[in-house]
Amino acid sequence: MNEYLDKLSKIRSGFFARMRFLFLLDLISVFSIFYAIFIIFQVEYFLNKSSFYLPVPVKFVPPIVAFVIAIISALLLHKKDSKINVNLLIENKYNELKEKLRTAYDNRDETNVIVDSLKDNVSDALTNVSSSHLLSKSAIISKILVTIIFIGGVALISSNPDTYTIPPDTISNNFKNITGIGQGPTNETIVIVGPIQNIQNAGITGSGEIIGKPKIASLQGKNIDLSIHAGTGTGFVPSAPAQQPGQFIPSAIYPVDVLGSNVSDGGYSLLMQKSEADKTLIQDYAIERSKI
């Protein structure tokens, strides 16, 4: 009476065998992808340059790491395979077993006329059930083709590393540009290039190396002209103009011809001829006048 259970067990075994085959295909595909990536980016070269302690030779590290990643990825992809209800798959694929298979399986320990008749019907129907029909053939064929392509790709890359690998210098430079690691501080001096006239006219016409109009600074109430004069070259340091002999003759502290001329000294000689009382009076007048 339990003949249908034997047939059902064989169908389940065939189904999970095909699932293990798909697991193996995914494992090989992921391993091929990561191992090809490790070859292209020359992970083995950088491991030789590193100071990390490795318990195995460096040449075995890339395939081992790729295999570990492949196992983890395949397990994640197939973690729900063991929970697949094969009875439901059979019922969905074969309508004549709809609900009959589950009813017979739930009452597999029961024995009566009705249950025994149901088991016989289910056993006859399971004769036409094939585990290969429970999985999509197109999905299996697609995985097989993808796996073959990945295996061929990694075989081609590993046999021609000089053609498909990236030079280590290129990888190092790109890594430094992206992360900024390895780039020390730059002590560069900013040098203004171009005529100083461009700097003087900056902000007036919208051109030049300095933005904004030249201004006059105020220091302790006195205006200081900060404009840069034209006609100087690169590297010019503004300084006070040098005194040229003969350009300026300082005047005397008091008129030389005090007694000789009343015109040239503006009446200074007449003032000196006044009496002390008059001088004092004139001085007081001048002081009071200045206060007005």
Q: Is-contact 1 124, C-beta < 8 A? A: no
Q: For each of the chain's 292 residues, which pLDDT tens digit applies?
A: 578 889 999 999 999 999 999 999 999 999 999 999 999 888 888 888 877 778 888 888 899 999 999 999 999 999 999 889 999 999 998 888 988 998 988 888 888 888 889 888 988 989 889 888 888 888 899 999 999 999 999 999 988 877 878 777 776 676 666 555 555 554 544 454 555 454 455 445 555 455 555 555 555 555 555 555 555 555 555 555 555 555 555 555 544 444 444 445 556 667 777 788 888 888 888 888 777 7
- Please tell me the distance from the alpha carbon of residue 265 to that of residue 185, in angstroms, as a whole number: 71
Q: How many CB atoms lie under 10 A from the CB of residue 233? A: 7
Determine, yes or no, domain membership for 113.
Answer: yes
Domain encompassing residue 76? 3-179
Determine, yes or no, domain membership for 200.
Answer: no
Tens digits of per-residue pLDDT, 82-124?
Answer: 889 999 999 998 888 988 998 988 888 888 888 889 888 988 9
222, containing H or E segment: strand 222-225
Split into its structural domains, the chain has a count of: 1
How remote is the C-alpha of 292 from its chain's centroid?
Answer: 76
Determine, yes or no, domain membership for 102.
Answer: yes
Determine, yes or no, domain membership for 70.
Answer: yes
Pull the structure tokens for residue 212: 């904004």
Tens digits of per-residue pLDDT, 21-40?
Answer: 999 999 999 999 999 999 98
Determine, yes or no, domain membership for 214.
Answer: no
